[in-house]
C-alpha cells in the first residue's frame, strides 16, 4: 500500500467542479491526474500542475483515490462498469467516490457487476450524493 499521507488522486470529469478539485489538489503538491471527454479541460489540468490522461482507465491506473465527478448515475455507471471502465483494474486499497446523485435503486442494478468484480458499494443516506466502492480483499 502506498504512503497514505501522500495519496495519488485521479479525477474523472473535469467540468467546473472536477477541474476545480483537481487544480486544488495539484496546488497542494499532491499527484493528481484527470480525464474528461473535453480535451480543453484535460489540457487545463495539465497547464495547472496535473497530469493529463487519454482515458478514464489511464487516469485511474495506480491511484489511491478516484473521485468521479460526472453529471448523473448513467455517466457514473459508464465510467465504472463499461468495457473500458475503471472498476475492474482497481486494487483492494483504492477508493472510488461518486459525486453524482445516485438513487438507492441503482445499487440493485449494479449489484451483479459489483459482485463479479468483488466490490462492496456503500451509499450514504445523506441525499444519496456520495458512493464509495471498496474492493474486498481476496
pLDDT one-digit tens code per residue, 7-35: 889 999 999 999 999 999 999 999 999 99
Residues 118-128: what's their mean pLDDT?
Answer: 56
Cell readout for 46 is 495539465
In a domain, 50, yes or no: yes
In three state form, how does the secondary structure of 76-132 look?
HHHHHHCCCCCCCCCCCCCEEEECCCCCCHHHHHHHHHHHHHCEEEEECCCCCCCEE
In a domain, 110, yes or no: no
In a domain, 68, yes or no: yes
- Number of independent structural domains in the chain: 1
CATH assignment at residue 83: 3.40.50.720
In a domain, 4, yes or no: no
In a domain, 109, yes or no: no
Residues 6 or more apart whose CB falls under 8 angstroms from that of 70 comprise: 12, 13, 76, 79, 99, 100
Band of pLDDT at residue 123, cut at 50, 70 and 90: low
Residue range of the domain that includes 87: 9-97
In a domain, 36, yes or no: yes
Amino acid at each position: 500500500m502506498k504512503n497514505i499521507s501522500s495519496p495519488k488522486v485521479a479525477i474523472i470529469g473535469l467540468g467546473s467542479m472536477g477541474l476545480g478539485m483537481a487544480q486544488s489538489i495539484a496546488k497542494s503538491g499532491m499527484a493528481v491526474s484527470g480525464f474528461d471527454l473535453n480535451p480543453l479541460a484535460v489540457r487545463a489540468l495539465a497547464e495547472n500542475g496535473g497530469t493529463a490522461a487519454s482515458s478514464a482507465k489511464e487516469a485511474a491506473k495506480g491511484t489511491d483515490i478516484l473521485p468521479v465527478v460526472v453529471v448523473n448515475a448513467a455517466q457514473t455507471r459508464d465510467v465504472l462498469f463499461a468495457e473500458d471502465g475503471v472498476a475492474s483494474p482497481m486494487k483492494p486499497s483504492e477508493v472510488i467516490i461518486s459525486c453524482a446523485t445516485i438513487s438507492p435503486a441503482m445499487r440493485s442494478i449494479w449489484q451483479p457487476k459489483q459482485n463479479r468484480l468483488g466490490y462492496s458499494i456503500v451509499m450514504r443516506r445523506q441525499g444519496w450524493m456520495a458512493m464509495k466502492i471498496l474492493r474486498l480483499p481476496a
